[in-house]
């Protein structure tokens, strides 16, 4: 491995951490708005769903463009990693993950945001670096 290059799993791990960080910040904002009675109780789940989509999209988009695996596999790896961490945290804290419909909706939204992140932004062109010799390409 050459100097300065990171492995693809490290890039995807960074994307997962980025998406989880954005998601936690959004949840703290939602909690603040709920405590201040700015956000009504029936608006909590849509706000959580929107924050999950935004967080998954941003982390997957960053991971997809930083990884050499290709955009779709890398974006789905980041979205799947976020999903696994959220389910593991739910199972660890509450000792169960209840499938009451909302968890399934969040899982589908997180994975869909990963797919959208892979499709966003146009094509990634592989630019070959040509060796130059006195200003001319070899």
Predicted pLDDT at 128: 44
Spatial contact of 63 and 77, defined as CB atoms under 8 Å apart: yes
For 57-75, what is the mean pLDDT?
86
In the beta sheet, which residues pair with residue 137? 132
Inform me whether the pLDDT recorded for 131 exceeds 70: no
**CA atoms of 73 and 97, how far apart (whole Å):** 26
What's the CA gap between 104 and 30, in Å, rounded? Answer: 20
Greater pLDDT, 137 or 115: 115
Window from 31-40, 58-67, 118-127 with minimum mean pLDDT: 118-127
Mean pLDDT computed over every residue of the chain? 82
* Residue length of the chain: 138
Using 50, 70 and 90 to split pLDDT, how confident is the model at 6?
low
137 sits in which H/E element: strand 136-137
Cα 30 to Cα 48: distance, rounded to the nearest angstrom: 8
pTM of the model: 0.78
């Amino acid at each position: 491995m050459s100097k300065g290059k990171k492995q693809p799993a490290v890039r995807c791990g960074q994307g997962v951490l980025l998406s989880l960080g954005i998601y936690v910040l959004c949840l703290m904002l939602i909690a603040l708005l709920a405590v201040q009675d700015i956000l009504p109780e029936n608006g909590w789940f849509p706000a959580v769903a929107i924050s999950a989509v935004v967080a998954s999209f941003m982390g997957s988009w960053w991971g997809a463009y930083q990884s050499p695996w290709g955009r779709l596999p890398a974006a789905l790896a980041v979205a799947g990693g976020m999903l696994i961490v959220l389910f593991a945290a739910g199972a660890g804290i509450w000792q169960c993950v209840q499938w009451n419909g909302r968890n399934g909706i969040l899982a589908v939204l997180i994975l869909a945001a990963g797919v959208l992140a892979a499709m966003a932004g146009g094509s990634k062109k592989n630019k070959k670096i040509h060796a130059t010799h006195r200003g001319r390409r070899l």
